[in-house]
Structure formats: structure tokens, C-alpha cells
């Protein structure tokens, strides 16, 4: 049953064609939001929109958020199509190359940083004036537990997400006067098309997930629920925070027996 419309009801979701992005779109639409989803290709946007229920208030925007000018165009187009903006969800990202630090090339670092860090910086910068014009709202960045502890082989990805957490805090401090709250969610393992092969390899045996207190990966809808909370007026006194949604993985710090998980997007 749809929930009551939120007072912050116009949302742009980048990475909206990914598993977490689509789940977040479904959740916000159920909450009464009007939603714009962004992805890199027309085909991926069309597929994502086709999965949403007919008659919902969802539109699609195509753009490459690793390009600052394209990021600004995406935000402006979303604002025009939604007739305003008060929620930005930065859910796009790439895993990048899996390799030891000694084997990473400068281009590998730049690829992760441009998409996972500078992309959200560009969309946030472009969105500030629009969100402020509607009286304020919320920005939620999707990071990763790889920003909080090291995992062998994904240094470029983890460093870019750690930068996103730092940016979250700086943006929260600077945008408070504009009535814009900025927070982040840090998922652990999430069941997505990219992670499914590794999850299947781990098997259903709880023992293989011994480093996760809940003994399983998350479903995209579970991460979407956290994002929806941080975006909503229910989190009106929460800003500059990172909400870890990893099933208790960070607190246990045990070896999973799986290495280099794909990005959960």
C-alpha cells in the first residue's frame, strides 16, 4: 500500500538502472515521490523504467556523470522534468580494475575517482541551487564498507568511496544553512547481477558467511530502505553521517573466503 506523500517528493537517482538504484526508485515511488532516474545509455534507462509499475511518476535521463558538464546537464534536465528537486541520490559507480596496488596504472585510479567521487561532487554542486530553491532537502551518497576497511585488490574503488565519505561530511557542514542534509550509506555485500556469481560460489551455508552477523548478503530493497530513511523527513536531524548497512560485517571483521566483490550497484 503506498505511503503518504513525503514533503520532500522530487528525487533524482543517479545509477538508477543498477540494482540498488532501481530498488530505491521503487521505494521512493511507493512513498509518493516523483522520480527521475539516470543511467549512461538510453537502453538501460528504458529497461529500468519498464520495470517500474505503469502510471508511476518516473522519468529517465541519459548521461555520463564522469563528465562534469554532462552531470550538470543531467541535473538540470531532471529538474525541468520533475518541476523541481529536493532529493538527490548518488547511487552510480563502477568497481574498476581488480588488481594489487603495485599493478594499478594511473588511468585505473583516475577512472574510479572520476566516476565514484567526482561524479557525485558534480551532481551535488549542480543540485545545490535547485534543492535550496524548493526550501531544502536531502542528498544521499551510496558508498561502500570498502571505504571503511581495506580489502585486497580493490584499492582504487575503496579509496574513491572513502573520498565520497569525506565529501559527504564537508558538504553536510557547508550546506546546512541551505537546509540541505547530506548523508551516506555504506553497504556490504548486496545481491545484484554483478555479485551473484560470487555469492553463488560462497553457497547458502551460513558458515561461508561467518564474517557477516546476519549470515547472508543484503537484498537491494534493504539498502533502498536505508536510503529512503536518510532522504526522508524522518531523518530531519541526521546529517554528515554514514549509515553502515552490511549485516554486521564490519563489526565482526572475519575472513569471508571471498575476495574482490564486485561493486554492489
Q: Is residue 2 part of a domain?
A: no
Please tell me which residue in 33, 157, 170, 237 is annotated as part of the active site.
157
Burial of 241 (0-12, 13-18, 19+ CB in 10 A): middle
Q: Is residue 257 part of a domain?
A: no
Q: Is residue 62 part of a domain?
A: yes
Provide the CATH number for the domain around residue 204: 3.40.50.720
Q: Is residue 191 part of a domain?
A: yes
DSSP 202-248: H-S-GGGGTTSTTSSPBPHHHHHHHHHHHHSGGGTT--S-EEEESTT
Domain of 114 in residue numbering reads as 10-252
Contact 90, 141 (CB under 8 A): yes
| Helix (H), strand (E) at residue 21 | helix 19-30
Contact 83, 5 (CB under 8 A): no
| Helix (H), strand (E) at residue 87 | strand 87-90
Q: What is the pLDDT along the chain (265 residues), one digit of tens a residue?
A: 334 344 559 999 999 999 999 999 999 999 999 999 999 999 999 999 998 875 679 999 999 998 899 999 999 999 999 999 999 999 998 788 888 999 999 999 899 999 999 999 999 999 999 999 999 999 999 999 888 888 788 899 999 999 999 999 999 999 999 999 999 999 988 888 777 776 776 665 555 555 678 878 889 999 999 999 999 999 999 999 999 988 887 665 554 444 444 445 5
**Structural domain total, the chain:** 1
Q: Is residue 5 part of a domain?
A: no
Nearest to 212 by CA among 159, 161, 261, 165: 261
The pLDDT value recorded for residue 149 is: 84
| Helix (H), strand (E) at residue 58 | strand 58-62
Q: Is residue 1 part of a domain?
A: no
The pLDDT value recorded for residue 4 is: 39
Which long-range contacts does 58-67 make (Cβ < 8 Å, 24+ apart)?
58/25, 58/29, 58/34, 59/35, 60/16, 60/36, 61/12, 61/36, 61/37, 62/38, 63/38, 64/40, 65/14, 65/38, 65/92, 65/115, 65/119, 65/120, 65/122, 65/123, 66/114, 66/115, 66/118, 66/119
Question: From CA 227, how far away is CA 230, in angstroms rounded?
Answer: 5
Q: Is residue 265 part of a domain?
A: no
CA terminus-to-terminus distance, the chain: 27
Q: Is residue 259 part of a domain?
A: no
Question: From CA 157, how far away is CA 151, in angstroms rounded?
Answer: 10
Q: Quick check: is 33 catalytic?
A: no
CA distances from 259 to 59, 151, 159, 202 (A): 37, 8, 17, 11
Amino acid at each position: 500500500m503506498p505511503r503518504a506523500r513525503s514533503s520532500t517528493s522530487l528525487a533524482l537517482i543517479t545509477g538508477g538502472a543498477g540494482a540498488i538504484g532501481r530498488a530505491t526508485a521503487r521505494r521512493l515511488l511507493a512513498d509518493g515521490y516523483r522520480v527521475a532516474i539516470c543511467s549512461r545509455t538510453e537502453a538501460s534507462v528504458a529497461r529500468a523504467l519498464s520495470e517500474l509499475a505503469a502510471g508511476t511518476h518516473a522519468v529517465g535521463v541519459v548521461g555520463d556523470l564522469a563528465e562534469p558538464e554532462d552531470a550538470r546537464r543531467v541535473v538540470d534536465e531532471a529538474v525541468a522534468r520533475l518541476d523541481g528537486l529536493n532529493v538527490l541520490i548518488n547511487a552510480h559507480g563502477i568497481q574498476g580494475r581488480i588488481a594489487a596496488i603495485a599493478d594499478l596504472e594511473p588511468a585505473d585510479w583516475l577512472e574510479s575517482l572520476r566516476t565514484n567521487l567526482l561524479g557525485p561532487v558534480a551532481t551535488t554542486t549542480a543540485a545545490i541551487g535547485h534543492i535550496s530553491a524548493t526550501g531544502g532537502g536531502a542528498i544521499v551518497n551510496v558508498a561502500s564498507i570498502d571505504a571503511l576497511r581495506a580489502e585486497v585488490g580493490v584499492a582504487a574503488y575503496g579509496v574513491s568511496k572513502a573520498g565520497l565519505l569525506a565529501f559527504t561530511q564537508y558538504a553536510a557542514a557547508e550546506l546546512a544553512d541551505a537546509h540541505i542534509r547530506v548523508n551516506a550509506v555504506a553497504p556490504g555485500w548486496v545481491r545484484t547481477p554483478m555479485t551473484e556469481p560470487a555469492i553463488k560460489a560462497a553457497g547458502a551455508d551460513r558458515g561461508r558467511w561467518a564474517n557477516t552477523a546476519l549470515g547472508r548478503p543484503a537484498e537491494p530493497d534493504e539498502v533502498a530502505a536505508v536510503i529512503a530513511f536518510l532522504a526522508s523527513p524522518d531523518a530531519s536531524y541526521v546529517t554528515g553521517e554514514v549509515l553502515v548497512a552490511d549485516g554486521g560485517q564490519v563489526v565482526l571483521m572475519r575472513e569471508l573466503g571471498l575476495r574482490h566483490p564486485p561493486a554492489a550497484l
